[in-house]
């Protein structure tokens, strides 16, 4: 077990190094940082001096090492656009994106898993067909269209919910949260639904497929033959076995939700990392883009580690005894 | 007492109704073990499923009576039927590996089942569960009950399955191939257990199996089924000893006897594959390829080790020894039988010879040449062509997306035997005829064939590589006895016709006795005994061989047909 976690951590280090390398390459190959920083009136000699000062003439590998050690010490450099430290810009934005992502995930699980179980147990029912059709439509429409439709219906026509921003936020430590005010929740609802729809469909269809598979398995048939009560059969025996593969996909998808909340954030003007990333692209703000890349990769690695641990928690076959 | 009368089960489909079973009559008294034999597709399991009310959709009972004691099983609501399941009728499945929920402890599964049918406290249910496990023969049950299914061996797991089936004191247990997935030693223990339960607890058993040896050993009465109909029913000695129905007779003929060798199996008619067609192109082509004379195989001190489970972060894992100092000499042109229980290293040996795994030490010689081990053997090494393999499961050993033609012609172009595509097709068709199949099979896909036909195709594919040494890894264990008899006949014919050397791997001692000239007995990676088959079976020296032989279920001599 300890060995397993250690192995995973070592693997994660390599993944992070690879991503850091990609992020670093951005600096090297997307334009010349010196021309970005200086104006036309800076003399060539001054440019050269600056280049020397910033260490841009050092060998590639040294620069990369410096980049990595700086990152490890929490020094993410400065934005070209705002001249602020990138670390600050990102940490300001992380709460918004994380809250959005987590609420979207919870919505998709809270609806997706029961719907998946229901449609698996009554594969021919009318409700099942209706649910399958609706979700098919839901997944075929692009995210931004869903967002705009929701805005149109609930924001504009009905006027129930705000259409942009985070509403009221509360500062808890360094974390700016919108989960503690009614306004905040109202603002959160539409973007979270928009972001969660795709996840929801995927979760539901996956749960349904896995559950139907599990229901055909020998141990379910045996439990049926022993007269285990149906409720226990469905939820204790079948659902637990269903969740093993489902968790992997949900975990991977959650990383994706965080990474690709860009579209939703821009539709709802949600001040999260996605929006920051969009702005950075517009202004070729390479340091921010690089750090964004690294942070997102870190999320992916973290989520995957959690998924692996969940696996072990659910499936006793994976628990190897430590001596 | 279970009474079945005129039972018919139908499966509606787009192409009309398919009748799975009809006119099935059967009665099982308390304490009786009633054997239900027949080949796959005979409808044995459908009978069991109909009784317990778990017919897979869209199947339904079209006709007949089903009653257990005073209860009419056909008049129950789904809820009532579910209450009877476990309480009065229970079931044992074939594969103990898959019939327990892997995520729950044995304890949870037992307590849950007990509480589903009687209103008892957790501690009372737990006590009953522990007592039951003790009775069933699980030592240290109070502690073992906390374990998960994967922490038990196959035989122990089947005991747990049986404990689960009887923990509610049912009147009837439907045992669907309860020992098919088990080794002989474990099988005999499980059969003893079933016999004991029938005697002591007066549980009626419906024992569904394709293994006539098992029936002969423990069934009181037997029903023979074929194509959904009952062929013959009666007391076991009478049905098996003096069968009146020709099908029962044919089935008995196909069972390989353990205690003597017969020249050929008499195969049941109607399958329409009459022996080997002689004198065609495929045969000529194969004989033409015999430039290498008979090729033997010698193994010297062969060891195979696998990395074991890691127990500590800092120590190297203990290697798991799959084969230890195996010395084996397969005489050129002979059939060497290799027997052993699952996990004894039979398949590992085959993989080492074919170069699929790398032995840790030892020398392998094919003919006079040393075979390079594992990855050191180049893709173009001649042994890749000379050594061919027939696998156990014909359902997964043929690529289901390739036509038979593509599967069969592959070795021909791959080894550069035949350049012309037309010629390759012709040869493949001829080879199909040689193994007893219609040549038009060449345009079909594997799923269009039965298991026996697929195994013939697998043999044909192996032969088209012009092998001198054939490894058959449990070639018939996935097949019915009558089909097994056909395939074994085919292999014998081909072997004598082309002077092949064969390594015949099987867990079935009776089959090996029929096939092999020499036999080696493998146990835990060590060869326990080796010698001429007739000597070895008649006068086994190693204790282990004697045990294996005594545990294999056999029919009394007087029931066997004169072979």
pLDDT digits (tens, 9 = 90+) for B61-114: 988 889 998 888 888 888 888 889 988 999 998 888 888 999 999 999 999 999
Between chains, do A6 and B313 touch, taking CB under 8 Å as contact? Answer: yes
Residues in B closer than 8 angstroms to A218, CB to CB, are 93, 95, 98-99
Residues 6+ apart with CB under 8 A from B107: B126, B129, B145, B146
| Domain A87-318: assigned CATH number | 1.10.3720.10
Of A226, A229, A316, the CB nearest to B90: A226
In B, residues 96-115, which contact A (CB 8 Å cutoff)?
Answer: 98-104, 109, 112-113
Asked if B148 reaches chain A (Cβ–Cβ under 8 Å), the answer is yes
- Top residue of A214, A225, A236, A322 to mutate, by most chain B CBs within 10 Å, is A225
Contact B157, B100 (CB under 8 A): yes
Of B86, B109, B312, the CB nearest to A225: B86
B537 band by pLDDT with thresholds 50, 70 and 90:
very high
Residues in A closer than 8 angstroms to B103, CB to CB, are 240-241, 244, 314-316
- Top residue of B57, B101, B161 to mutate, by most chain A CBs within 10 Å, is B101
- pLDDT greater than 60 at residue B264: yes
Distances (CA, A) of B232 to A24, B25, B156, B210, B257: 80, 10, 35, 15, 22
Tokens encoding A273: 């990392």
pLDDT in tens, B378-407: 888 888 888 999 988 888 889 988 999 999
B270 band by pLDDT with thresholds 50, 70 and 90:
very low
Of A228, A230, A323, the CB nearest to B113: A228
- Average pLDDT of the residues in B9-24: 88
- A10-38 burial string, b = 16+ CB within 10 Å, else e? eebeeebeebbeebbeebeeeeebeebee
The reported pLDDT for the residue numbered B274 is 46
Residue of B nearest to A237 (CA): B101
Of A219, A244, A316, the CB nearest to B148: A316
d(CA B394, CA B475): 8
A211 burial via Cβ count (<10 Å: 0-12, 13-18, 19+): buried
For chain B, give percent helix, strand, coil, nearest 5: 40, 25, 35
The count of other CB atoms within 10 Å of the CB of residue A248 is 16
Between chains, do B102 and A219 touch, taking CB under 8 Å as contact? Answer: yes
The reported pLDDT for the residue numbered B211 is 85
pLDDT in tens, B38-68: 887 788 889 999 999 888 878 889 888 899 9
CA distance A239 to chain B (A): 11
Widest CA span in chain B = 77
Between chains, do B103 and A225 touch, taking CB under 8 Å as contact? Answer: no
Give just the sign of the alpha carbon dihedral A231, A236, A242, A247.
Answer: positive
B289 band by pLDDT with thresholds 50, 70 and 90:
low
Between chains, do B103 and A320 touch, taking CB under 8 Å as contact? Answer: no
Residues in A closer than 8 angstroms to B99, CB to CB, are 218-219, 221-222
- Average pLDDT of the residues in B308-334: 81
Residues in B closer than 8 angstroms to A224, CB to CB, are 54, 82, 85
Distances (CA, A) of A75 to A78, A280, B73, B365: 9, 19, 76, 64
The three-state secondary structure class of A224 is helix
DSSP state at residue B165:
H
pLDDT in tens, B404-434: 999 999 999 888 888 888 889 888 988 888 8
d(CA B61, CA B76): 13
In angstroms and rounded to an integer, the radius of gyration of the C-alpha atoms of chain B is: 25
Contact B359, B374 (CB under 8 A): yes
Q: A170 or B128: whose pLDDT is higher?
A: B128
Q: Parallel, antiparallel, or unpaired for β B16-28 and B335-339?
A: unpaired
In angstroms and rounded to an integer, the radius of gyration of the C-alpha atoms of chain A is: 24
Between chains, do B116 and A228 touch, taking CB under 8 Å as contact? Answer: yes
- Top residue of A223, A226, A320 to mutate, by most chain B CBs within 10 Å, is A226
B178 band by pLDDT with thresholds 50, 70 and 90:
confident
Contact A96, A89 (CB under 8 A): no
Q: Residue holding tokens 């609420």?
A: A103
d(CA B204, CA B162): 14
- Domains identified in chain B and CATH numbers: 30-50+88-254 (3.40.50.300), 320-374+469-553 (3.40.50.300), 395-466 (no CATH)
B275 band by pLDDT with thresholds 50, 70 and 90:
very low
Over B351-420, what HEC string results?
HHHHCCCCCCEEEEEECCEECCCHHHCCCCCCHHHHEEEECCCCCCCCCCCCCHHHHHHHHHHHCCCCCC
Residues in B closer than 8 angstroms to A239, CB to CB, are none
- Sheet strands (E) in B172-296: 172-176, 204-209, 221-226, 229-235
DSSP state at residue B471:
E
- Top residue of B87, B103, B171 to mutate, by most chain A CBs within 10 Å, is B103
Residue of A nearest to B80 (CA): A227
The reported pLDDT for the residue numbered B279 is 44
User: What size, in residues, is chain B?
Assistant: 563
The reported pLDDT for the residue numbered B389 is 92
Q: Residue holding tokens 């869903």?
A: A146
Tokens encoding B101: 């929920």
In B, residues 36-55, which contact A (CB 8 Å cutoff)?
Answer: 52, 54
The reported pLDDT for the residue numbered B530 is 93
Q: What angle do CA B208, B210, B215 make, to 5 degrees?
A: 70
Tell me the count of A-B CB pairs closer than 8 A. 92
CA distance A298 to chain B (A): 26
Tokens encoding B504: 């015949």
B47 burial via Cβ count (<10 Å: 0-12, 13-18, 19+): buried
The three-state secondary structure class of A153 is helix
CA distance B190 to chain A (A): 18
Residues in B closer than 8 angstroms to A2, CB to CB, are 313
Q: Residue holding tokens 């109070």?
A: B142
- Average pLDDT of the residues in B188-210: 91
The reported pLDDT for the residue numbered B261 is 83
d(CA B117, CA A223): 13
Asked if B562 reaches chain A (Cβ–Cβ under 8 Å), the answer is no
Residues in B closer than 8 angstroms to A244, CB to CB, are 103
The domain locations on chain A are 2-72, 87-318
Residues 6+ apart with CB under 8 A from B123: none
Give me the sheet containing B501-506, strands edge to edge.
Answer: B387-390, B469-473, B501-506, B335-339, B518-523, B526-532
Tokens encoding B289: 């390829």
Between chains, do A222 and B164 touch, taking CB under 8 Å as contact? Answer: yes
pLDDT in tens, B430-457: 888 888 888 888 888 988 888 888 999 9
DSSP string, B25-90: EEEE-TT-EEEEE--TTSSHHHHHHHHHT-PPTT-EEEEEEEEETTEEGGG--HHHHHHHHHHTEE
The mean of the pLDDT values for chain B is: 86
Contact A253, A136 (CB under 8 A): no
DSSP string, A288-315: HHHHHHHHHHHHHHHHHHHHHHHHHHH-
Of B100, B112, B165, the CB nearest to A232: B112
- Average pLDDT of the residues in B112-133: 90
Between chains, do B84 and A221 touch, taking CB under 8 Å as contact? Answer: no
Q: What angle do CA A263, A269, A272 make, to 5 degrees?
A: 75
B271 band by pLDDT with thresholds 50, 70 and 90:
very low
Tokens encoding B173: 């247990």
| Closest to B472 (Cα-Cα) out of B516, B424, B430, B441 | B516
Q: B125 or A311: whose pLDDT is higher?
A: B125
Between chains, do B116 and A320 touch, taking CB under 8 Å as contact? Answer: no
Of A227, A316, A323, the CB nearest to B103: A316
Of B85, B98, B313, the CB nearest to A226: B85
Contact B158, B133 (CB under 8 A): no
| Closest to A194 (Cα-Cα) out of A112, A263, A115 | A263
Residue of B nearest to A3 (CA): B313
CA distance B86 to chain A (A): 4
Widest CA span in chain A = 87
Prediction ipTM score: 0.78
Between chains, do A225 and B91 touch, taking CB under 8 Å as contact? Answer: yes
Asked if B307 reaches chain A (Cβ–Cβ under 8 Å), the answer is no
d(CA A202, CA A209): 11
Contact B2, B28 (CB under 8 A): yes
Contact B504, B518 (CB under 8 A): no
Residues 6+ apart with CB under 8 A from B140: none
Residues 6+ apart with CB under 8 A from B185: B155, B341, B547, B548, B551
Asked if B168 reaches chain A (Cβ–Cβ under 8 Å), the answer is yes
Of B54, B95, B102, the CB nearest to A224: B54
The three-state secondary structure class of B169 is coil
Between chains, do B112 and A225 touch, taking CB under 8 Å as contact? Answer: no
Between chains, do B52 and A241 touch, taking CB under 8 Å as contact? Answer: no
Contact B60, B8 (CB under 8 A): no
Q: Residue holding tokens 């997706």?
A: A112
B36 band by pLDDT with thresholds 50, 70 and 90:
very high
Beta bridge partners of A85: A78
Between chains, do B117 and A323 touch, taking CB under 8 Å as contact? Answer: no
pLDDT in tens, B499-532: 889 999 998 898 999 999 999 999 988 999 999 9
Contact B263, B496 (CB under 8 A): no
Residues in B closer than 8 angstroms to A316, CB to CB, are 102-103, 148, 150
Residues in A closer than 8 angstroms to B109, CB to CB, are 223
Residue B97 phi/psi, 5-degree rounding, is -65, -35
Q: Residue holding tokens 């027997």?
A: B339
Between chains, do B83 and A237 touch, taking CB under 8 Å as contact? Answer: no
% residues pLDDT > 90 (chain B): 34
The reported pLDDT for the residue numbered B462 is 92
Of A226, A230, A244, the CB nearest to B86: A226
Residue of B nearest to A243 (CA): B103
CA distance B50 to chain A (A): 12
Note every long-range contact of B137-145, with CB atoms under 8 Å and residues 24 or more positions apart, other chains counting: B137/B189, B137/B193, B138/B163, B144/B106, B145/B105, B145/B106, B145/B107, B145/B110
Which residue stretches of chain A have pLDDT < 70?
1, 27-28, 30-31, 33, 36-37, 174, 320-323
């Amino acid at each position: 077990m300890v060995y397993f976690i250690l192995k995973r951590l070592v693997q994660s280090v390599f993944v992070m190094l690879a991503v850091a390398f990609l992020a670093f390459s951005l600096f090297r190959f997307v334009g010349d940082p010196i021309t970005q920083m200086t104006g036309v009136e800076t003399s060539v000699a001054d440019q050269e001096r600056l280049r020397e000062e910033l260490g841009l003439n050092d060998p590639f590998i040294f620069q990369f090492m410096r980049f990595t050690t700086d990152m490890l010490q929490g020094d993410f450099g400065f934005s070209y656009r705002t001249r602020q430290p990138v670390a600050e810009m990102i940490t300001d934005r992380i709460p918004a994106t994380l809250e959005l992502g987590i609420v979207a995930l919870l919505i998709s699980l809270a609806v997706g898993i029961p719907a998946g179980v229901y449609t698996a147990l009554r594969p021919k029912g009318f409700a099942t067909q209706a649910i399958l059709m609706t979700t098919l439509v839901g997944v075929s429409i692009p995210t931004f269209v869903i967002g705009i439709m929701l805005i149109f219906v609930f924001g504009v026509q009905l006027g129930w919910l705000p259409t942009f921003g985070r509403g009221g936020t509360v500062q808890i430590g360094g974390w700016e949260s919108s989960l503690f005010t009614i306004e905040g929740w109202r603002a959160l609802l539409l973007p979270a639904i928009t972001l969660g729809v795709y996840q929801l469909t995927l979760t539901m269809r996956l749960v349904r497929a896995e559950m139907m598979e599990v229901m055909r398995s020998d141990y379910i048939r045996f439990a049926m033959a022993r007269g285990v009560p149906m409720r226990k059969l469905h939820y204790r025996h079948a659902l637990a076995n269903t969740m093993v593969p489902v968790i992997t996909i949900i975990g991977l998808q959650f990383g994706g939700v965080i990474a690709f909340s860009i579209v939703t954030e821009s539709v709802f003007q949600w001040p999260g990392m996605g929006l920051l990333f969009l702005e950075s692209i517009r202004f070729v703000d390479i340091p921010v883009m690089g750090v964004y890349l690294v942070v997102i990769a870190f999320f992916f690695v973290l989520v995957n580690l959690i998924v692996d641990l969940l696996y072990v928690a659910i499936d006793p076959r994976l628990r190897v005894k430590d001596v | 007492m279970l009474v079945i009368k005129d039972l018919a089960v139908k499966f509606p489909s787009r192409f009309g109704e398919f009748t799975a079973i009809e006119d099935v009559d059967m009665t099982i008294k308390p304490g009786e073990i009633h054997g239900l034999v027949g080949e796959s597709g005979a409808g044995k399991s459908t009978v069991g499923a109909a009784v317990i009310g778990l017919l897979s959709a869209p199947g339904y009972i079209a006709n007949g009576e089903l009653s257990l004691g005073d209860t009419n099983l056909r008049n129950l609501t789904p809820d009532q039927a579910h209450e009877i399941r476990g309480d009065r009728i229970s079931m044992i499945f074939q594969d103990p590996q898959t019939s327990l929920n892997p995520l729950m402890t044995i304890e949870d599964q037992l307590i849950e089942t007990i509480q589903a049918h009687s209103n008892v406290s957790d501690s009372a249910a737990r006590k009953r569960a522990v007592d039951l496990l003790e009775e069933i023969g699980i030592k240290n049950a109070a502690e073992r009950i906390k374990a998960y299914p994967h922490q038990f061996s196959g035989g122990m797991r089947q005991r747990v399955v049986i404990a689960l089936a009887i923990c509610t004191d049912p009147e009837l247990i439907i045992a669907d191939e309860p020992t098919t997935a088990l080794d002989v030693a474990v099988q005999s223990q499980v059969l003893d257990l079933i016999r004991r339960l029938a005697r002591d607890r007066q549980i009626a058993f419906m024992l569904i199996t394709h293994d006539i040896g098992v029936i002969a050993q423990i069934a009181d009465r037997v029903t023979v089924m074929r194509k959904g109909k009952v062929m013959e029913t009666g007391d076991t000695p009478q049905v098996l000893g003096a069968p009146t129905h020709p099908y029962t007779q044919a089935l008995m003929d196909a069972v390989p006897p353990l205690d003597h060798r017969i020249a050929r199996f008499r195969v049941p008619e109607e399958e329409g594959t009459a022996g080997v067609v002689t004198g065609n192109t495929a045969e000529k082509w194969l004989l033409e390829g015999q430039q290498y004379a008979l090729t033997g195989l010698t193994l010297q001190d062969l060891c195979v080790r696998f990395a074991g489970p890691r127990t500590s972060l800092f120590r190297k894992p203990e290697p798991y020894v799959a084969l230890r100092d195996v010395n084996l000499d397969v005489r050129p042109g002979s059939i060497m039988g290799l027997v052993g229980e699952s996990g004894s290293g039979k398949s590992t040996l085959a993989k080492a010879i074919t170069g699929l795994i790398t032995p840790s030490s030892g020398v392998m010689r094919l003919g006079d040449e040393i075979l390079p081990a594992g990855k050191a053997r180049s893709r173009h090494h001649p042994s890749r062509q000379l050594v061919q393999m027939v696998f156990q499961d014909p359902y997964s050993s043929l690529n289901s997306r390739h036509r038979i033609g593509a599967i069969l012609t592959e070795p021909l172009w791959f080894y550069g035997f035949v350049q012309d595509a037309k010629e390759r097709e012709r040869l493949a068709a001829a080879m199909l005829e040689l193994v007893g199949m219609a040549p038009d099979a060449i345009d079909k896909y594997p799923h269009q064939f039965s298991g026996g036909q697929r195994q013939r195709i697998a043999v044909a594919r192996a032969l088209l590589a012009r092998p001198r040494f054939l490894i058959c890894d449990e070639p018939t264990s996935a097949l019915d006895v009558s089909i097994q008899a056909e395939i074994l006949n085919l292999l014998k014919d081909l072997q004598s016709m082309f002077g092949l050397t064969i390594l015949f791997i099987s867990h079935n001692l009776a089959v090996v006795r029929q096939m092999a000239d020499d036999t080696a007995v493998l146990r835990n990676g060590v060869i326990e005994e080796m010698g001429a088959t007739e000597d070895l079976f008649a006068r086994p020296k190693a204790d282990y061989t004697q045990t294996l032989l005594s545990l294999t279920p056999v029919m009394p001599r007087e029931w066997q047909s004169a072979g």
